[in-house]
Amino acid sequence: MQKENLVLIGNGMAGVRTLEELLKLAPDHYHITVFGEEPYGNYNRIMLSPVLASEKTIEQIMLNGEQWYIDNGITLHKGKKVEQINRARREVIATDGTVAHYDRLIIATGSVPFMLPLPGADKQGVIGFRDIKDVDTMLATASQYTNAVVIGGGLLGLEAANGLMKQGMNVTVVHLLDTLMERQLDKPAAAMLQKSLAERGMNFLMEHSTAEILGQERVTAVRFKNGTEIPADLVVMAVGIKPNTELGKSAGLYCERGIVVSDTMQTITDPKIYAIGECVQHRGIAYGLVAPLFEQAKVAANHLAKHGIARYVGTVTSTKLKVTGIELFSAGDFTGNDQTEDIVFKDAASGTYKKIVLQDNQVKGAVLYGDTVDGSWYFQLMKDGTDVSAFRDTLLFGQHHLGDSGHNPDTRVASLPDNAEICGCNGVCKGDIVKAITEKKLFTLDEVRAHTKASASCGSCTGLVESLLAHTVGGDYSATPKTKPLCKCTDYTHDDIRHGIIQHSLKTMPAVREHFEWKTPDGCPSCRNALNYYLLCAYPTEYVDDAQSRYINERAHGNIQKDGSYSVVPRMFGGMCTSDQLRAIADVADKYEVPTMKVTGGQRIDMFGIKKEQLPAMWKDLSAAGFVSGHAYGKAMRTVKTCVGSEWCRFGTQDSTGLGVKLEELTWGSWMPHKFKLAVSGCPRNCAEATIKDIGVVCVDSGYELHIGGNGGIKVRVTDLLCKVATEEEVLEYTGAFCQFYREDAHYLERTAPWIERVGLEKVKTAILSDAANRKALYERFLISQQPAQIDPWKARADGAEAAEFTPIMIEA
């Protein structure tokens, strides 16, 4: 059979999903050609908000890279905008002249942000929030300017505002009405949301209408109808979107708000042309969320594959906000009317609000704030039109009120029915996920994502999927070894390899690679660094470190900065220093013309902008002044932060500074699976922020509390209490033992926080608390590993080690 030509205009979420569905049904039916205006493969647009908030990278949100197009024989014209459809000749023509002939055509051009037609709206720095380009603009602006104004307090506006705030901008959200997200939230829920966003530092100008955007070339301020002005270096308009019908219109397709399509997603003007996604109007509705678009994609694919049995009849949508730490769910008609009744629960103190709108004992809509675990259940009841009279009085407490008053989401998800929808974006039900987990033997979230697509789009159902995984795989899910290989070079896991290294006395990288049948000769940047660390940890006194298997930071013993220069941090034990030491640092800074100095979050001094060639000389001067390397660049013990403690502070119960110095003397220089930080606070006021460190010590009258597994980074985690001890000696011993247990057990690049969540606190407690002999053995091994580690790498290099690394070769040509 002669293959037909299928052309897709718009390389976005709906269009490419249609191709994916089509390839599943009829892989050989068409020659496929794709035109996309953006210069990228196909990415997850929803995830632009987390990218803006630095929670994800662009690489992480790519759905189909270029290889996918190649693998499926699809011709991709990226960065090419189609400007004309010639329906008579069945051709599409791009602005650069590229022509493609079609037998069938899909238009999936999405939508464009609605830009308010204000005076000054064309100035530099006024943008929408739609694509990677916009995110790049926002990130670049955030690095140079301070004030951002987001016009529109809806879903998109708040996500933009949150992201910009995370990038350090001072953000004001301007909203026409007195409630945020009025299309998803009622007043009480909106007020709670506004309060918690305000607590994070977001500013609001409610009931403000924008009149004009001021500035010369670039925006400088925004003026409102009431005459007031606020300064602005960036204005993001997030007041709505409009279907991108330009191309459809010019091709003579019938359009209203969007390109009008039938239940088979064919345009009503020309059945050879399909339209799908946000550019479409179906039964009067233009959708702006992915779940309905993905349903449309299924239908269109079914029709294109000539099965012709599917019909799209519209979708009920639900919404969640992707701002980390804010739980919010809304669906259906949550305002209600004369015929409806509301059931409402509000606990301002705990930040929980639930409202369910009922009519004739059926759920018509719901708003949940603070606790959204039951959102999918209410949504299901709503879609099914279930009669809830039998359990109406406990409806608000969720599905699991009976018999289980606990708040453990694991048990809640367990009792959901199989047809309960878990992932709203991709329409995946609990049954599908459980089936995939059991049949395909899945163990990790990534695997579930790959096989079912659940939680692969906006990610707000990730928690539910993880609970399902835990529940389905069984009680020891957390202890189940991940079947994920260490990297692409091997089929073996981190744990396999760590055990193998000891069991078979593998003492060099080639030996490990040979034993485990590596697929690449040299390994890759993931496994080389991991193996180097594993060998170093297993054979601290024997193994010869491989410099080429370390990231540049560790190879150059400094932190590489964005311009290729380095920063240098001398160690200041416990954050203590003398005037002589400060003077010495100042002298070094003068001598090497250090452009920037900064006190770090760990109470050390960081010197920026050092050229690599200068490093050894600078280190020489620093070591002459008595400093050793601060390891601020390494997967290593970094700093011990301290408060002043009993020596000066009127609240101090113990000498927290002195103890901090002792801990740092014990642990400095030690290589770890990842960076590692300690802190000691002199009393429970906790001025050293010990409860977000890998190890935190909080001094109390009767001794010392040891806290472990905290993290102040991207995902904040408060420590777990390990135990309380009475003496400083015990603090040192327990700390050393904990360090060693972590060093020997964790995967490379796994910080203590996710490690403890993976292996469970019990395992750590057992190793260190229940078994004193084991603790002492761990501590002993830690001390042994410290002997070769506490050699200052700076001094060695200042004395000439690895000179080639630091000496460029000059050529007169």
Partner 1 sequence: MSKWIEVVELNNIPVLGSRLIKTRDTDIAVFRGSDDQVYAIRDTCPHKGGPLSQGIMHGSTVTCPLHNWKIDLASGNALAPDHGCSNVFAVKVEGGKVFLQLP
Ligand X SMILES: Cc1cc2nc3c(=O)[nH]c(=O)nc-3n(C[C@H](O)[C@H](O)[C@H](O)COP(=O)(O)OP(=O)(O)OC[C@H]3O[C@@H](n4cnc5c(N)ncnc54)[C@H](O)[C@@H]3O)c2cc1C
Amino acid identity at 34: V
Could you say which of ligand SF4, ligand X, partner 1, none residue 556 binds, taking C-beta under 5 to 8 angstroms by partner kind? partner 1
Tokens 């010495």 correspond to: 584
Q: Mapping DSSP to helix (H, G, I), strand (E, B) and coil, where does residue 209 land?
A: coil
How many beta carbons lie within 10 A of that of residue 500, not counting itself? Answer: 16
| Residue from 7, 197, 425, 530 binding ligand X (CB under 6 A) | 425
Tokens 């639900």 correspond to: 318
Cα dihedral: 10, 13, 18, 23 (round 10): 100
Instruction: Give the whole-angstrom CA distance, residue 161 versus residue 148.
Output: 8
Tokens 């050989």 correspond to: 28
Q: What does the per-residue mask of binding to partner 1 show for 527-556, with x meaning CB under 8 A?
A: -xx-----------------xxx-xxx-xx
- Sorted by sequence, the CB contacts under 8 Å of residue 555 that are 6+ apart come out as 547, 548, 805
Structure tokens at 279: 């550019």
Q: How far is the CB of 22 from partner 1 (least distance, A)?
A: 22
How many beta carbons lie within 10 A of that of residue 286, not counting itself? Answer: 20
Structure tokens at 402: 């009976």
Segment near partner 1 (CB under 8 A); pick from 35-43, 97-105, 621-629, 748-756: 35-43
CB burial readout 544-572, b (16+ within 10 A) else e: eebeebbeebbbbbbbbeeeebbbbbbbb
* Nearer residue to ligand X within complex by CB, 328 or 643: 328
| Cβ proximity of 683 and 699 under 8 Å | yes
CB burial readout 461-496, b (16+ within 10 A) else e: bbbbbbbbbbbbbeeeeeeeeeeebbbebbebbbeb
| Cβ proximity of 51 and 135 under 8 Å | yes
639 binds ligand SF4 (CB under 6 A): no
639 binds ligand X (CB under 6 A): no
Q: How far is the CB of 439 from ligand X (least distance, A)?
A: 28
Segment near ligand X (CB under 6 A); pick from 105-113, 185-193, 221-229, 505-513: 105-113
227 binds partner 1 (CB under 8 A): no
293 binds ligand X (CB under 6 A): yes
82 binds ligand X (CB under 6 A): yes
Q: What does the per-residue mask of binding to partner 1 show for 555-574, with x meaning CB under 8 A?
A: xx---x-x-x----------
Element (H, E) at 431: helix 430-439
Q: What does the per-residue mask of binding to ligand X show for 8-27, with x meaning CB under 6 A?
A: -xxxxxxx------------
3-state secondary structure 490-531: CCCCHHHHHHHHHHCCCCCHHHHHHHCCCCCCCCCHHHHHHH
* Nearer residue to partner 1 within complex by CB, 289 or 552: 552
* Pairing between β-strand 170-174 and β-strand 147-151 as defined by DSSP bridges: parallel
Could you say which of ligand SF4, partner 1, ligand X, none residue 289 binds, taking C-beta under 5 to 8 angstroms by partner kind? ligand X
Q: Nearest Cα to 52, choosing from 198, 150, 182?
A: 150
Could you say which of partner 1, ligand X, ligand SF4, none residue 81 binds, taking C-beta under 5 to 8 angstroms by partner kind? ligand X
| Cβ proximity of 36 and 8 under 8 Å | no
Q: What does the per-residue mask of binding to ligand X show for 197-236, with x meaning CB under 6 A?
A: ----------------------------------------
Q: Nearest Cα to 511, choosing from 491, 534, 494?
A: 534
Q: Restricting to residues 764-783, which ones interact with ligand X according to CB under 6 A?
A: none
Q: How many CA atoms lie within 13 A of 375 on its CB side?
A: 26
Segment near ligand X (CB under 6 A); pick from 143-151, 211-219, 283-291, 302-310: 283-291
Q: How far is the CB of 703 from partner 1 (least distance, A)?
A: 45
Segment near ligand SF4 (CB under 6 A); pick from 111-119, 659-667, 668-676, 684-692: 684-692
- Sorted by sequence, the CB contacts under 8 Å of residue 579 that are 6+ apart come out as none
How many beta carbons lie within 10 A of that of residue 624, not counting itself? Answer: 12
248 binds ligand X (CB under 6 A): no
- Sorted by sequence, the CB contacts under 8 Å of residue 576 that are 6+ apart come out as 642, 657, 661
Q: Restricting to residues 606-665, which ones interact with partner 1 according to CB under 8 A?
A: 612
Segment near ligand SF4 (CB under 6 A); pick from 416-424, 613-621, 640-648, 665-673: 640-648
| Residue from 289, 644, 721, 796 binding ligand SF4 (CB under 6 A) | 644
Segment near partner 1 (CB under 8 A); pick from 33-41, 242-250, 467-475, 711-719: 33-41
Element (H, E) at 439: helix 430-439
323 binds ligand X (CB under 6 A): no
| Residue from 148, 331, 395, 458 binding ligand X (CB under 6 A) | 458
456 binds ligand X (CB under 6 A): no
700 binds ligand SF4 (CB under 6 A): no
Q: What does the per-residue mask of binding to ligand X show for 260-279, with x meaning CB under 6 A?
A: -----------------xx-
292 binds ligand SF4 (CB under 6 A): no
> Using CB under 8 A as the criterion, which residues of the chain lie in contact with partner 1 when the complex forms?
39-41, 59, 62, 65-67, 520-525, 528-529, 547-549, 551-553, 555-556, 560, 562, 564, 612, 804-805, 808-813
Residues that bind ligand X (CB under 6 A): 9-15, 35-38, 45-46, 48-49, 81-82, 108-110, 129-130, 156, 244, 247, 277-278, 288-291, 293, 322, 425, 458
Q: Name the site residues for ligand SF4 (rule: CB under 6 A).
A: 643-645, 649, 651-652, 656, 681-683, 685-687
